[in-house]
Amino acid sequence: MTTVEVPEWEAPAAKKQPKSTKAKLLDVARWIAIIAVVAFAANQLASNWDEFWLTLKDIAWPSSVLSLVALIVSILVSTYGWQVMVDDLGKPIGYLRGAQICLVGQLGKYVPGSVWAYLLQMELGRKAGVARARVFTGSLVQFGVGIVAALVLSILAMPAVFSNSPNALWLFVLLPAGLIALHPKVLTWGTSLVLKTLRRPPLDHQLSWKTIGKVFGAAILAFSFQGAHLWLLANSVGAPGFTGLVLCVGAMAIAMTSGTFAFILPSGAGVREVVMVAVLTASGLSVGQATAFAVASRVMFTVADLITASGAALAARLRTA
């Protein structure tokens, strides 16, 4: 009799049977991890709340609400890109299930060391019946495609960012290489090479233009909504106009990518704010105003992350109830 091996990309289907002691301990560990990352996020929210509230009081409430909505939409769009990538690697998991894994797992970025977000996503994926290798690979590819999208949009903020940070010219050195890396053959080879380095199995098929295009488009759209979020804050006290909107989109693309590389800090603390201040001052705001909006933006990001993660968890819970 021959045995059929289950590919590592697919977790075995869950059977209705009593949980073992190990499974119960893993469930407890997952809950402890989730509680810990929520606590870190709440702590960051509390530590910046006073300055955030002082800034918010001077902003018209419609601008504040729309700015937060723009952030929430950006997170949901980015999650779609992640789900598309994970779906390409195996049996489709759907948006709701993917959102539960991606959004709750992403709260791990508030713990110093961005690796916690990926670890939490993998554990949540495994709990939902999706292999850890598949979740990690989906996140890895989305991260790489997102960087290229950010490099493309960084051109929009070139006048403001590079006048304050000449060393940022390295972004344009990476752009041609990034565009080449989006080719299905190159991206598949590069992803498999990273997986091999990590002693994981390589991709079992070549990525398609359609999948890469959807992930890239989702990244562009997500950065655009993040730029609109920053522009709505600045536009409430000044008049950046359309030019300011374009600058804010490019700035958020650079800021979010730079923050990701600052993996020692929780959610790139401090790095993205430097870029935001540079762009906002170039748009006509004072350094004080720009700094206040950068802090307000960070707090609103935390609020949006908590709203979307709790919403995804609740929706998934109601669906399985």
| pLDDT for 257 beyond 90 | no
* pLDDT tens-digit series, residues 184-243: 999 999 999 988 888 888 888 899 999 999 999 999 999 999 999 988 887 766 656 677
The band of 120, judged by pLDDT with boundaries at 50, 70 and 90, is confident
Look at residues 180, 175, 183, 139 and name the one whose alpha carbon lies nearest to residue 250: 175
Which pLDDT score, from 0 to 100, does residue 39 have? 59
Q: Average model confidence (pLDDT) for the chain?
A: 76
Domain assignment present for residue 258? The answer is yes
What Cα–Cα distance (Å) separates residue 262 from each residue in 145, 216, 250?
Answer: 18, 22, 19
Torsion of CA 8, 14, 15, 18, to 10 degrees: 110
Instruction: Write out the two tokens for 292.
Output: 């206040």
User: Among 10-19, 36-45, 72-81, 91-100, which is the least confidently predicted range?
Assistant: 10-19
Q: Given this model, what pLDDT does residue 251 score?
A: 80
Task: Report yes or no on 2 lying in a domain.
Answer: no
274 in a structural domain: yes
The pLDDT assigned to 216 comes to: 97
Using CA atoms, how far apart are residues 255 and 271, in angstroms rounded to an integer?
A: 7
Q: What pLDDT is recorded for position 238?
A: 64
CA 50/CA 196 separation, integer angstroms: 47
Residue 17 belongs to a domain: no
- pLDDT at position 25 is 52
pLDDT surpasses 90 at 264: no
> Is residue 9 assigned to a domain?
no
Which ranges of the chain does DSSP label H, i.e. alpha helix?
A: 21-47, 49-56, 61-88, 95-106, 115-127, 132-154, 158-164, 170-181, 184-197, 209-235, 241-261, 271-282, 287-320
Residue 36: Cβ within 10 Å count = 16
pLDDT beyond 70 at 149: yes
Q: Does any domain span residue 5?
A: no
10: in domain: no
* Residue 6 located in a structural domain: no
Residue 57 φ then ψ, to 5°:
-65, -25
Whether the Cβ atoms of residue 107 and residue 302 lie closer than 8 Å to each other: no
The count of structural domains within the chain is: 1
pTM above 0.85, yes or no: no
Q: Which domain holds residue 216?
A: 24-320
